[in-house]
Amino acid sequence: MKQEQIKTLIDALAASDLAELEYSEDGSTLRLVKRSALTAAPAVRRPAATRAAPAAGPAEPAHPEATPAECLAPLYGVVHLQPAPGEPPFVQPGQAVEAGQMLCVIEAMKMFNEIRAESAATVEAVLVRSGQEVEAGEPLFRFG
């Protein structure tokens, strides 16, 4: 796929009311997803235990504040956990973060997308390493 063709597909998606677009050519596939379709902040996925139980039987009350949440990559790209090589990371395990605080940057198509905390929490684990390629929906951080 040529860069001009990719740009045309991006523009077409932006001008449409579609949430995502997938295009395949010669064994390559390009999947574009509007950021608004993913929400402005990274998605948070709760473990299965906190989801509603099936209607088949009584459910134990879920306590979302007591279970860890995950910050998911909103798009495919390369993760950068620090502002520049040799500098300290944006966040580390055990660190408390505030809503809106920078967690990492994902580089995609020469654009740097800031990933910020959706709410105040404590970083339990960093699930990726700097320079790693991630898929949309892949867990980046676990919060407690």
Domains of the chain and CATH, by start? 1-37 (no CATH), 39-47+67-144 (2.40.50.100)
| pLDDT tops 70 at residue 11 | yes
Backbone angles phi, psi at 125, to 5 degrees: -155, 145
Residue-level pLDDT at 82: 95
Pick left, alpha or beta for residue 7 (phi over 0 → left; psi -120 to 50 → alpha; otherwise beta): alpha
Q: List the single range of 14-28, 106-120, 122-136 with lowest mean pLDDT.
A: 14-28
Residue-level pLDDT at 131: 94
CA dihedral 38, 110, 89, 75 (to 10 degrees): 20
Query: Minimal CA–CA distance to 45: which of 68, 23, 25, 26?
Result: 68
Alpha helices (runs of H) in 21-115, residue ranges in sequence order:
35-38
Residues 33-85: tens digit of each pLDDT: 776 444 444 444 444 433 344 444 444 444 334 346 999 999 999 999 999 98
Determine the Cα–Cα distance for residues 15 and 26; give it in Å rounded to an integer: 26
Determine the Cα–Cα distance for residues 101 and 10; give it in Å rounded to an integer: 28
Rg (CA), the chain: 18
| pLDDT tops 70 at residue 29 | yes
**Structure tokens, 123:** 């970083």
Query: Minimal CA–CA distance to 130: which of 86, 97, 74, 72?
Result: 86
Q: What average pLDDT does the segment 15-36 reach? A: 75
- Identify whether the C-beta of residue 141 lies closer than 8 Å to the C-beta of residue 123: yes
Residue type at 49?
A
pTM of the model: 0.55
**Average pLDDT value over all residues in the chain:** 78
Determine the Cα–Cα distance for residues 70 and 44; give it in Å rounded to an integer: 5
Band (pLDDT 50/70/90 cuts) for residue 22 is confident
Residue-level pLDDT at 33: 77
Residue-level pLDDT at 142: 95
